[in-house]
Structure 1
Amino acid sequence: MNMATIRKNPLVTGEVYHIFSRSIEKFKIFNNRAQYFKLQNALQFYQFSNLPICFSRFAEAAKTLKHRYRERLLDLVNDKEKSVEIIAYCLMPTHIHLILKQLQENGITSFISNSLNSYSHYFNLKHKRKGPLWQSEFKNVLVSSDEQFLHLTRYIHLNPVTARLVDNPNDWEFSSYKEYIGEVGDKDQICQFNDLMEIGPKEYENFILIRKDYQRELAEIKQLLIDDDY
């Protein structure tokens, strides 16, 4: 199903949202590192609007020409505007979390549609399956305060720890956590969050780690967030 459908509550340009999308019947949609990185790269690609090529063709061309993916992406989009700004993300085996700022009308809906449909096409070809991979409509919650934003990033970055996939959020490759604690160089960053953060990388890391074992507190924080059972 095409996800670019008309929403009951249209997303507002200029606002920041927590976006959550789950696979159908909690189907495992990532089976190895390459599949996680495939969607991660698609998210980077489709944040730009009016692209002259689809992601699958771009990725194939980048591979054939033996250029680094990010260098090829920068060459392609150097004069393109963004439809969304990626602020934070976490990819999980059956679902994804994103914090996005909408920069153009219908930007988030188009971005999610393009990214997830692209991954579905890749996954179905890879596994010789047919049919939808994701639930038909993603969930969203408006991020309306600095406090909500800070707790939301903690909730998202601790998702792999809460789900017992890793013991430390730094061990999960498929989230923006390392960007937030300063372990990713500016050239390789996917997310734009500096204007929203009032604490530095080390203080943020302490803010995360001091709470990582407290599932009860996470449950309390979820009242600010999308109700999701991981």
Structure 2
Amino acid sequence: MVRYRRNFVPGGAYFFTATLDDRRSSALVDHVTQLRNAFHVTRAERPFTVEAIVILPDHLHVIMTLPEADSDFPGRWRRIKSLFTHRVAASGVPVVRNHRGEFTLWQRRFWEHTIRGEADFERCAEYIHFNPVKHRLVASPADWPYSSLHRYIHAGILPADWGGVGDITGNFGERGD
């Protein structure tokens, strides 16, 4: 078995993709308040900065920066996924368990990429913000409500009609369409 090696950089910025086990699910947008709360609680317990994010029905992408002496992003993902899952289940939504009694809402792993400079950051942020269009959920990135693009527009970093220039390449941990 090939062992996947993660790149642990204290204070690093990372691009992540986290995906639900059932790719037909819309649980992330159906329960976006619980997801936001899971991020909020986790950030209060173990600080990190969300640089860019998009929440789609069955997966999310985020650029996260950790504090200077900290590289434990797996612990943060474990906490976010656990909080979200337990809150969704507590709200009465049936969540399947495996033979060991563990919830199976999320895929067990997540995809991660260490950001390597400004150009890499910009490429990943553009990918995040354009992703709802890529998945044919909206015609324009600004039409998707669950995106940090709105924060970028409000701050004047991107124009309100930003829609991506050219093709954004790379699958960033997603299956090809």
1:112 and 2:77 are equivalent in the alignment: yes
- Residue 130 (structure 1) aligns with: 96
- Residue 190 (structure 1) aligns with: none
Flag structure 2 segments of 5+ consecutive residues without an equivalent: 98-103
Per-residue deviation, 1:102: 1.7
Which structure: larger Rg?
Answer: 1
CA contact 1:22–1:138 (8 Å) conserved in 2: yes
Partner SS state of residue 133, structure 1: coil
Structure 1 letter corresponding to 2:95: R
Alignment equivalent of 2:53, drawn from 89, 92, 98: 89
Alignment equivalent of 1:21, drawn from 12, 18, 32: 18
Distance 1:168 1:226 in 2: 20
Per-residue deviation, 1:96: 0.9
CA contact 1:21–1:135 (8 Å) conserved in 2: yes
- Structure 1 residue runs of 4+, over 6 Å off? none
Partner SS state of residue 127, structure 1: coil
Per-residue deviation, 1:124: 2.9
Assess, with a 3 A threshold, how the Cα gap between structure 1 residues 209 and 13 changes in structure 2: closer, same or farther. same
Assess, with a 3 A threshold, how the Cα gap between structure 1 residues 226 and 11 changes in structure 2: closer, same or farther. same
* Worse overlay, 83-92 or 102-111: 102-111
Q: What percentage of aligned pairs have identical amino acids?
A: 21
Flag structure 1 segments of 5+ consecutive residues without an equivalent: 1-6, 50-81, 184-199
> TM-score, normalization: structure 1?
0.63
Q: Kindly indicate which of the two structures has a greater share of residues assigned to helix.
A: 1
Per-residue deviation, 1:45: 2.2
Distance 2:38 2:131 in 1: 21
- Residue 171 (structure 1) aligns with: 143
- Residue 159 (structure 2) aligns with: 205
Mapping for residues 1-230 of structure 1, pairs under 5 Å: 8-30=5-27, 33=30, 35-49=31-45, 82-103=46-67, 104-125=69-90, 126-131=92-97, 132-182=104-154, 200-201=156-157, 204-205=158-159, 208-211=162-165, 217-218=167-168, 221-222=169-170, 226-229=172-175
Distance 2:48 2:164 in 1: 32
Partner SS state of residue 167, structure 1: coil
> TM-score, normalization: structure 2?
0.81
Assess, with a 3 A threshold, how the Cα gap between structure 1 residues 207 and 166 changes in structure 2: closer, same or farther. closer
Distance 2:76 2:153 in 1: 26
Per-residue deviation, 1:128: 2.4
Assess, with a 3 A threshold, how the Cα gap between structure 1 residues 170 and 227 changes in structure 2: closer, same or farther. same
Structure 2 letter corresponding to 1:143: I
Cα deviation digits, residues 2-57 of structure 1 (max 9, x gap): xxxxx732521111110111111414142755x112202221221122xxxxxxxx
Partner SS state of residue 154, structure 2: coil
CA contact 2:153–2:160 (8 Å) conserved in 1: no
